[in-house]
Amino acid sequence: MNGVKRRAAMARFIDENDGADVQTLADYFQVSPITVRRDRKILAEQNMLSPTHGGAVPASFLYGELAYAQKVNANIPSKKAIARRAAELVRDDSVVMLDAGTTTLELAKLLMHRRLTIITVDLQIALHLSQSSTVRVFTPGGEVNREVQGQLDSRALRYLQEANAAISFIGTATWDAVKGVSSSNVPKQEIKRTLMERAECTYLLADSAKYGTYNPWSVAPLKNFDGVISDGGLSPLICKDIFDVGAELILA
């Protein structure tokens, strides 16, 4: 059996068996474990499966948790620190917009017992806040996006375009002094831009670990935010770069 056929069969095998370990595949296809690993790497690059330690699982397995890769790397303490700093900027009895994400979720937890109106696209955040008797929560409708656990479609966009807020908080997986904030797809880009437009002031919540990375779709340069809230993990050099592009950096 040649490589191409073997890999096709391997992908199917993994799909049908909900995953398999390297040794099982090596036995089944009569090749050495190293060859299985090489096949796995090739298939992973084609999104035919997701590699795991010791084996592989169907790609769809991790799709539900695409957030996995991101959230596993998530630096929870620094997110909490950023959220605490952000919470200080929120005035009681005001309208707050929250972007989707884990940092904004931390912020939402801190706002639970405040008197506020909160508009968010993140269902996780909405559900948390719905427990509060002092917070009114609004979400746009539409199809729920698996990755962000919230709505990103055009209906959500129109909903947000009718809203007005005193302050909005944008989260990001990628940011950079030169490239600004960018997102991995157009709907997310549009949602973030709308959240920025519809609030009197806008803050970026940006984990230092994510600095220097970027995605295909530009959202805004850093100077368009009233403040960029990050944690202590930024080098002085990076701080200077951020200052040089005219952004207001707030360290938590």
Partner DNA sequence: GCGAATAAGATCAAATACGATCATATTTTG
Partner DNA sequence: CAAAATATGATCGTATTTGATCTTATTCGC
Residues making contact with its own copies (CB under 8 A): 2-5, 8, 18-19, 21, 42, 45-48, 50, 52-55, 57, 60-65, 67-68, 71-72, 74, 76, 123-124, 126-133, 136-146, 149, 151, 155-156, 159
By CB under 7 A, residue 51 contacts DNA:
yes
For residue 86, the minimal CB distance to its own copies (Å) is 20
Q: Closest CB to its own copies among 5 and 232? A: 5
The packing angle between helices 3-16 and 22-29, to 10°, is: 130
By CB under 7 A, residue 65 contacts DNA:
no
Instruction: Please provide residue 159's backbone torsions phi and psi, each rounded to the nearest 5 degrees.
Output: -60, -50
* 8 A C-beta contact, residue 114 and residue 134: yes
Given 10, 14, 22, 100, the residue binding DNA (CB under 7 A): 22
Task: Indicate the helix (H) or strand (E) that contains 227.
Answer: strand 227-230
For residue 46, the minimal CB distance to its own copies (Å) is 5
Q: Closest CB to its own copies among 101 and 180? A: 101
Q: Give the single-character DSSP code of 83.
A: H
- Cα distances (Å, whole numbers) of residue 103 to 1, 68, 162, 230: 49, 15, 25, 11
CB under 5 to 8 A by kind: which of its own copies, DNA, none does 34 bind? DNA
For every residue of 1-70, DSSP letters joined together read --HHHHHHHHHHHHHHTT-EEHHHHHHHHTS-HHHHHHHHHHHHHTTSEEEETTEEEEHHHHHTTHHHHH
By CB under 7 A, residue 3 contacts DNA:
yes
Q: What 3-state class would DSSP assign to 229? A: strand
By CB under 7 A, residue 54 contacts DNA:
yes
By CB under 7 A, residue 77 contacts DNA:
no
By CB under 7 A, residue 92 contacts DNA:
no
Q: Closest CB to DNA among 55 and 171? A: 55
Rounded CA-CA distance 225/177 in Å is: 12
Rounded CA-CA distance 59/43 in Å is: 10
Q: Closest CB to its own copies among 30 and 53? A: 53
CB under 5 to 8 A by kind: which of DNA, its own copies, none does 200 bind? none
For residue 105, the minimal CB distance to its own copies (Å) is 8
CB under 5 to 8 A by kind: which of DNA, its own copies, none does 38 bind? DNA
Rounded CA-CA distance 116/169 in Å is: 14
Q: Closest CB to DNA among 55 and 227? A: 55
Tokens representing residue 9 in the block: 């069969």
By CB under 7 A, residue 32 contacts DNA:
yes
Q: Which residues bind DNA (CB under 7 A)?
A: 2-3, 6, 21-23, 30-35, 37-39, 41, 51-55
